[in-house]
């Protein structure tokens, strides 16, 4: 069906190409800093100095700010912003929930001008900033991006399939998956049941959804044995292109929304997808549902993962008045306060505030251990700059026929 | 009205999109299927969906939907209205629904006779087909139907009588198309599996040029023959054709309605069908009826397809912004937990992932909630075209005796239209099919034929053109003679679908046989008997009882519809 959907992403080819050729956008002042031991990025940018709960006192009544954010964290944001408005009666927050790549596109073409933006990850933030610099010759960021909550990209696999995959390859990795999907005989070729058919991998369309873009990025990182410093030249290697093409042949459909895609995995079970590549937070929210439908879904961490770090950024648009900046800064401070950070656990996110205990009572990270959820993470890749990401997307569009 | 050629296109594209679905209405309240002029088929399907009595200011929406989910959706519309659901601004919402075959619903939107707010076919394939059809006409530059969210789900399965499945090793062994083959290839039939009393393997699947479930059956058979789970190519097909021919030999007849096979299998028992390709919810539904033995769902080990019932709010000039908003409120209602739980009670799998799968989706109702375990990969368009060509070559050929009433009452336009219909029927048959003509009034003349459609088409058409009206009606004698003729050819046409197709415009007036004698005579099912009641003077009850006794189907037609009725009937062959 999606083959017939007309897909246009106006983060256009020409702009992207220009970006790649000119090589702009390579400075990195905006990237959240990460420590080498894979702990989450440090917080502590300007906004967080504001004490939570401080009432806004804008001159001349109520200040309205618009906050555009990615759909994955909708429930947490809605609950937190409702609490914020209650404690800050002088500020009204207009919430816009939108897929990150779609939002980036709308911001780039000027149709959306939120004061605050929080996409799912720094990949999309960098992508927009790169495209913005190509178009406007300056950064769109009016603050240092700060992570709100964190979630690594994971594989979720039906337990019986996972056992066969692990037995065949030792560790669940893109290499193991590549081997499994490469045989025309399907599951029996690696010791699975004939009734399972061929090996069906699922991830979203990288041009339309972050998790798909992250999945593609991780294929590259694993293939080149890197966690940073990936280059446009890497993507030109025929061996890498073949690797990607063969893996992608196992994807029956490239869905445009990670949420819908994960829901489909629960609805249709292993008949549609044996392996899905999604955010840990989304996996956590559906593991119980899977039990009630098809049996155990197991979470596996790829050898190199990547954060959905949900950066929150003030955007340099005409809407960013002095009052709006002050109000938005208060909101950021509120969202990063310890209490509010603690509530993110309930929604399956890892708090950006690393001082919060993850395995407290009732935390899904405690409860979901039985399904493979763990706090110990493998190597985490550093998101490259916009033009590098754009080059990878172009390569993907060229070699993987839209399905 | 759609033509068979059009349907072929529809079926192919539908499958390209990875969706399997049915296309035909499925009225559930009649003991004998009226395959044609039921209230859910065209002709009577043109009443406006809008409710003229809706109070001013209220928002009225209409939903045109695949009839497979009629019971559920009718209940939900009533519950929604009673729940006083409103738009955010306080205005009330009224919903009217119309169940119709998904393909016909699509055709109605395309020809302008249907203007619903929401289109909800059995399968997402029809949403894409509608868009393709829409954009190829009247310079439409934009799709009319968004993909839409699924409402309820049901996998496509091979429904089989439980003792038969057990004889093949179920449930310890997961069965597939190769098991159907094992029985049909065995000269002893079920006797080779210790059950000679069951006779041969009798399979029902719809016509692949009319229905997606038929095309996916054909595709699944081809995959089984090629011993592949994906990547079927046109180059595989010549090697696979002998296998396909062997499976097709088990087919009793084709058809365009999956629901027809579901009901007929339950009503007529294992002497009529050993197995049929159905939706899983129809297997569950069979447990609420009295059946000679339980039916179980076989999820072919080779893979299958889902029917996903998308809810597409049309992006059409006749749909207002208010109606779109109202349709969104109704969708939220349908997706809510209690509505979804009710769908599960009726045998559908709920789309709400938080609902645990439980009764009646369980072994006690013949189904396995942990199946299907894989879906078949859909090959590209050219491969599917090649597959249909292979099916044409390997499908079970038919030996049809055509019983045509030329009594005096047919004079004029009725006869002219019936002749057109008869010729259209023959034109739709395969070149390998045989047709024998018995054109009767009070006399039952010697049969003309058998004539092969490919070779003797001119002679067949000329014989039909030469018919003139006059005389009385010996319906029972003509039907009995046709049946005996096929019985006498039993050995010669053992690998053919043997069928009598009877058309009459009135009651029997001059037969020597009585009705009960005829019914007894055709009860041994050497051939299948299909009947058409033509015009107001025909006796539908009698013709329906003949079709029932003859394991066939009955249809009503008039001067305006007889050509289509004949065409539809051709989908059985």
Residue B150, strand partner residues: B310
C-alpha A373/C-alpha A298 separation (Å) is: 8
Give the per-residue pLDDT at A42: 42
pLDDT recorded at residue A299: 97
Chain B: residue whose CA lies nearest to A4: B128
Q: Do the Cβ atoms of A119 and A100 come closer than 8 Å?
A: yes
Residues of A in contact with B147 (CB under 8 A): 1, 5
Which site among B230, B348, B350 would you substitute to test the A interface, given the most A Cβ atoms closer than 10 Å to its Cβ? B230
Task: Give contacts of B337 with chain A, Cβ < 8 Å.
Answer: none
d(CA A288, CA A193): 25
* Dist. CA B117–CA B49, nearest whole Å: 10
The SS3 assignment for B8 reads helix
Q: Which residues pair with A153 in a beta bridge?
A: A279
Taking the CA of residue A162 and the nearest CA in chain B, the distance in Å comes to 14
Asked if A271's CB is within 8 angstroms of B373's CB, the reply is: yes
The 8-class DSSP code of residue A383 comes to P
3-state secondary structure of A378: coil
Strand ranges for B413-514 from DSSP E = 434-440, 448-452, 497-504
Residue the block writes with tokens 């390579």: A26
The answer to whether the CB of B384 falls within 8 A of the CB of B15 is yes
Pairs across A and B, CB distance < 8 A: 83
Is residue A189 less than 8 Å (CB to CB) from chain B? no
Q: Which of A197, A267, A289 sits opposite B303 (nearest CB)?
A: A197
- Asked if A60 has any chain B CB less than 8 Å from its own CB, the reply is no
Selecting from A1, A263, A286 the residue whose C-beta is nearest the C-beta of B147 gives: A1
Which residues of A fall within a CB distance of 8 Å from B349?
A: 267
Question: Is A239 in the B-facing interface, judged by CB distances under 8 Å?
Answer: no
SS3 A294: coil
Residues of A in contact with B357 (CB under 8 A): 292-293
CB contact under 8 A, B229 and A198: yes
Q: Is A157 exposed, middle or buried (0-12, 13-18, 19+ CB in 10 A)?
A: buried
- What per-residue string of b and e applies to A254-285 under the rule 16 or more CB within 10 Å gives b? bbbbbbebbbbbbbbbbbbbbbbbbbbbbbbb
Torsions phi, psi for B235 (to 5 deg) = -65, -25
DSSP B187: T
The residues, any chain, with a CB within 8 Å of residue B148's CB and separated by 6 or more, are B119, B120, B124, B127, B310, B311, B312, B313
A1 lies within 8 A of chain B by CB: yes
DSSP class of A152 = E
φ/ψ of A312, rounded to 5, equals -110, 135
User: Is the bond into A167 cis (omega within 30 degrees of 0)?
Assistant: no
Q: Hey, are the CB atoms on B374 and A295 less than 8 Å from each other?
A: no
Q: Which of B303, B205, B249 is nearest to B498 (CA)?
A: B249
CA separation for the pair B530, B24 (Å, rounded): 18
Per CB-CB distance under 8 Å, the chain B contacts of A266 are 353
In whole angstroms, what is the distance from residue B141 CA to residue B143 CA?
Answer: 7
CA separation for the pair B450, A54 (Å, rounded)? 94
Supply the pTM of this predicted model.
0.80
**Chain A residues with CB inside 8 Å of B131's CB?**
4
Which residue is closest to B354 within chain A, CA to CA?
Answer: A289
DSSP A232-263: HHHHT-HHHHHHHHHHHTT-S---S-HHHHHH
Cβ distance A196 to B374 less than 8 Å, yes or no, reads yes
- In Å, how far is A4's CA from the nearest CA of chain B? 7
Distance CA B342, CA A41 (A): 47
Beta strands in B101-151 (DSSP E): 118-120, 149-150
Dihedral, CA of residue B350, residue B351, residue B355 and residue B356, to nearest 10: 70
Torsion, CA A177, CA A178, CA A179, CA A182, rounded to 10: 120
A182 in contact with B, Cβ within 8 Å:
no
**Count of other CB atoms within 10 angstroms of residue B445:** 12
Instruction: With CB atoms and an 8 Å threshold, state whether B357 touches A5.
Output: no
In Å, how far is B129's CA from the nearest CA of chain A?
10
B308 vs B375: CA distance, rounded Å: 14
- Chain A touched by B120 (CB under 8 Å): no
Contacts of B128 in chain A (CB under 8 A): 1, 4
CA distance to partner chain B, nearest, from residue A301 (Å): 24
How open is the CA angle A350-A352-A356, to the nearest 5 degrees? 70
Question: CB of B573 within 8 A of CB of B254?
Answer: yes
Give yes or no for A254 touching B (CB within 8 A): no
* Interface check A139 vs B, CB under 8 A: no
Q: Output helix, strand, coil percentages for chain A, rounded to the nearest 5.
A: 45, 15, 40
Is the bond into B372 cis (omega within 30 degrees of 0)? Answer: yes
Cβ <8 Å between B377 and A252: yes
Look up residue B288 and give its two tokens.
């609420």
- A292, B372: Cβ pair inside 8 Å? no
Cβ contact A198–B351 (<8 Å): no
**How many angstroms away from the CA of B545 is the closest CA of chain A?**
42
Rounded CA gap, B160 and B165, in Å? Answer: 6
B357/A1 Cβ within 8 A: no
What one-character-per-residue DSSP string does A4-58 give? Answer: GS----SS-HHHHHHHHHHT-----TTSPP--TT-PPPP---GGGGSPTTPPP--
**What secondary structure letter does DSSP report for B169?**
T
Contacts of A185 in chain B (CB under 8 A): 229
> Can you tell me the distance from the alpha carbon of A165 to that of A171, in angstroms, rounded to the nearest whole number?
8
Structure tokens at B270: 């294992």
Q: Give the integer Cα–Cα distance in Å for A256 and B24.
A: 32
Residue A252 C-alpha, separation from nearest chain B C-alpha, in angstroms: 8
Instruction: Judge whether B540 is closer than 8 Å to chain A, CB to CB.
Output: no
Residue length of chain A: 403
Strands A116-118 and A311-314: antiparallel
User: Is the bond leading into B360 cis (omega within 30 degrees of zero)?
Assistant: yes
Residue of A nearest to B371 (CA): A271
Answer yes or no: do A293 and B356 touch at CB < 8 A: yes
A199 in contact with B at a CB cutoff of 8 Å?
A: no
Question: In this structure, are residues B303 and B149 in contact, taking their beta carbons and an 8 Å threshold?
Answer: no
Quote the DSSP letter at residue B548: H
- Of B550, B233, B166, B517, give the one whose Cα is nearest residue B378: B233
Question: Which candidate in A4, A262, A274 is best for mutational testing of the B interface (most B CBs within 10 A)?
Answer: A4
CB-based contact, B518 to chain A, within 8 Å:
no
A289–B153: do the CB atoms touch at under 8 Å? no
Helices A258-268 + A210-223 axis angle, to 10: 90
From first to last of the 403 residues of chain A, give the pLDDT tens digit: 333 333 333 333 333 333 333 333 333 333 334 434 444 444 333 333 344 444 444 456 899 999 999 999 999 999 999 999 999 999 999 999 999 999 999 999 999 999 999 999 999 999 999 999 999 999 999 999 999 999 999 999 999 999 999 998 888 999 999 999 988 888 999 999 988 988 999 999 999 999 999 999 999 999 999 999 999 999 999 999 999 999 999 998 899 889 899 999 999 999 999 999 999 999 999 999 999 899 999 999 999 999 999 999 999 999 999 999 999 999 999 999 999 999 999 999 999 999 999 887 788 999 999 999 999 999 999 999 999 999 999 999 999 965 4
Contact (Cβ atoms closer than 8 angstroms) between residue B237 and residue B386: yes
What is the block-wise mean pLDDT of chain B (573 residues), using blocks of 10 residues? 43 42 36 34 43 71 90 96 88 93 83 95 81 86 93 95 97 91 88 93 88 81 84 93 91 84 89 93 93 95 89 97 97 97 97 96 97 85 85 94 95 94 93 96 95 96 96 96 94 86 95 96 92 94 95 91 86 89
Q: In chain B, what residues touch A271 (CB-CB under 8 Å)?
A: 155, 303-304, 306, 371-375
In 10 A of CB A191, how many CB atoms?
12
CA dihedral (B67, B16, A278, A19) positive or negative: negative
Distance (Å, whole) CA A51 – CA A339: 12
Q: Closest partner residue to A294 among B230, B370, B374, by Cβ?
A: B370
């Amino acid at each position: 069906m999606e083959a017939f959907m007309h897909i246009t992403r106006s983060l256009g080819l020409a702009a992207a190409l220009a970006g790649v050729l000119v090589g702009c956008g390579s400075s990195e002042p905006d990237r959240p800093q990460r420590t080498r031991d894979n702990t989450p990025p440090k917080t502590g940018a300007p906004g967080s100095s504001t004490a939570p709960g401080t009432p806004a006192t804008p001159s001349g009544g109520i200040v309205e700010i618009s906050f555009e954010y990615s759909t994955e964290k909708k429930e947490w944001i809605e609950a937190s912003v409702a609490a914020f408005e209650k404690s800050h009666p002088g500020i009204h927050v207009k919430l816009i929930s939108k897929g990150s790549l779609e939002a980036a596109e709308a911001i780039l073409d000027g149709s959306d001008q939120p004061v605050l933006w929080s996409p799912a990850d720094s990949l999309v933030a960098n992508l927009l900033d790169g495209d913005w610099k190509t178009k406007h010759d300056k950064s769109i960021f009016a603050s240092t991006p700060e992570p709100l909550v964190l979630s690594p990209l994971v594989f979720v696999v039906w337990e019986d399939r996972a056992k066969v995959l692990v037995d065949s390859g030792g560790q669940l990795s893109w290499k193991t998956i590549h081997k499994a999907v490469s045989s025309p005989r399907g599951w029996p070729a690696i010791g699975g049941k004939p009734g399972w058919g061929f090996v069906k991998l699922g991830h979203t369309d990288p041009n339309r959804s972050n998790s798909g873009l992250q999945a593609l990025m991780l294929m590259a990182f694993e293939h080149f044995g890197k966690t940073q410093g990936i280059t446009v030249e890497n993507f030109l290697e025929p061996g890498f292109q073949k690797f990607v093409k063969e893996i992608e042949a196992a994807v029956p459909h490239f869905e445009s929304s990670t949420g819908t895609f994960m829901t489909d995995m629960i609805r249709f079970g292993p008949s549609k997808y044996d392996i899905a590549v999604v955010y840990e937070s989304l996996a956590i929210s559906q593991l119980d549902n899977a039990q009630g439908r098809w049996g155990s879904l197991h979470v596996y961490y790829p050898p190199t993962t990547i954060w959905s770090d949900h950066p929150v950024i003030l955007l340099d648009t005409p809407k960013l008045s002095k009052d709006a900046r002050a109000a938005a800064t208060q909101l950021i401070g509120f969202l990063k306060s310890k209490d509010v950070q603690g509530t993110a656990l309930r929604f399956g996110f890892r708090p950006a505030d690393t001082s919060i205990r993850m395995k407290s009572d009732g935390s899904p990270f405690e409860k979901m251990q039985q399904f493979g959820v763990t706090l110990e993470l493998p190597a985490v890749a550093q998101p490259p700059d916009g033009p590098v990401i754009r080059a990878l997307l172009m390569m993907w569009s060229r070699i993987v026929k839209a399905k | 009205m759609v033509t068979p050629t059009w349907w072929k296109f529809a079926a192919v594209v539908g499958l390209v999109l990875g969706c399997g679905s049915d296309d035909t209405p499925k009225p559930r309240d009649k003991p004998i299927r009226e395959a044609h002029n039921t209230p859910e088929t065209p002709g009577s399907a043109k009443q406006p969906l809008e409710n003229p009595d809706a109070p001013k200011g209220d928002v009225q929406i209409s939903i045109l939907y695949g009839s497979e989910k009629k019971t559920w959706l009718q209940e939900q519309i009533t519950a929604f209205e009673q729940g006083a659901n409103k738009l955010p601004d306080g205005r009330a919402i009224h919903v009217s629904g119309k169940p119709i075959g998904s393909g016909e619903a699509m055709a109605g939107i395309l020809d302008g006779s249907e203007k619903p707010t929401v289109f909800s076919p059995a399968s997402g394939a029809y949403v894409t087909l509608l868009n393709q059809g829409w954009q190829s006409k009247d310079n439409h530059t934009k799709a009319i139907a968004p993909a839409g969210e699924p409402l309820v789900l049901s996998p496509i399965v091979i429904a089989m009588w439980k003792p038969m499945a057990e004889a093949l090793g179920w449930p310890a062994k997961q069965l597939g198309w190769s098991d159907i083959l094992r029985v049909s290839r065995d000269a002893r039939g079920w006797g080779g599996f210790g059950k000679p009393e069951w006779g041969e393997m009798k399979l029902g699947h719809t016509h692949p040029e009319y229905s997606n479930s038929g095309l996916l059956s054909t595709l699944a058979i081809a995959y089984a023959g090629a011993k592949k789970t994906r990547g079927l190519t046109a180059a595989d097909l010549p090697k696979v054709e002998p296998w396909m021919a062997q499976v097709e030999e088990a087919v009793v007849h084709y058809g365009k309605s999956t629901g027809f096979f579901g009901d007929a299998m339950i009503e007529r028992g294992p002497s009529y069908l050993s197995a049929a390709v159905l939706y899983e919810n129809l297997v569950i539904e069979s447990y609420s009826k009295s059946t000679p033995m339980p039916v179980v769902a076989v999820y072919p080990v080779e893979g299958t397809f889902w029917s996903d019932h998308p809810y597409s709010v049309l992006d059409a000039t006749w749909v207002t912004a208010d109606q779109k908003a109202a349709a969104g409120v109704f969708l939220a209602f349908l997706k809510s937990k209690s509505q979804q739980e009710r769908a599960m009670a009726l045998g559908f799998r709920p789309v709400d992932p938080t609902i645990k799968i439980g009764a009646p989706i369980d072994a006690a109702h013949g189904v396995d909630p942990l199946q299907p375990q894989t879906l078949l990969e859909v090959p590209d368009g050219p491969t599917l075209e090649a597959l249909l060509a292979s099916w044409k070559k390997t499908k079970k050929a038919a030996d049809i005796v055509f019983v045509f009433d030329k009594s005096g009452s047919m004079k004029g336009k009725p006869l002219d239209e019936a002749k057109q219909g008869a010729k259209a029927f023959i034109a739709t048959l395969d070149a390998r099919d045989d047709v024998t003509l018995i054109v009767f009034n009070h006399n039952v003349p010697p049969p003309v034929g058998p004539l092969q459609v490919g070779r003797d088409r001119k002679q067949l058409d000329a014989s039909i053109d030469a018919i003139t009206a006059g005389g009385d009606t010996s319906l029972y004698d003509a039907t009995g003679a046709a049946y005996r003729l096929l019985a006498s050819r039993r050995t010669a046409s053992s690998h053919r679908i043997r069928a009598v197709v009877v058309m009459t415009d009135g009651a029997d007036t001059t037969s020597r046989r009585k009705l009960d004698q005829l019914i007894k005579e055709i009860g041994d099912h050497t051939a299948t008997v299909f009947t058409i009641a033509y015009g107001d003077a025909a006796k539908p009850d009698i013709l329906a009882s003949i079709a029932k006794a003859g394991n066939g189907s009955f249809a009503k037609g008039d001067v305006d519809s007889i050509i289509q009725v004949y065409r539809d009937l051709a989908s059985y062959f």
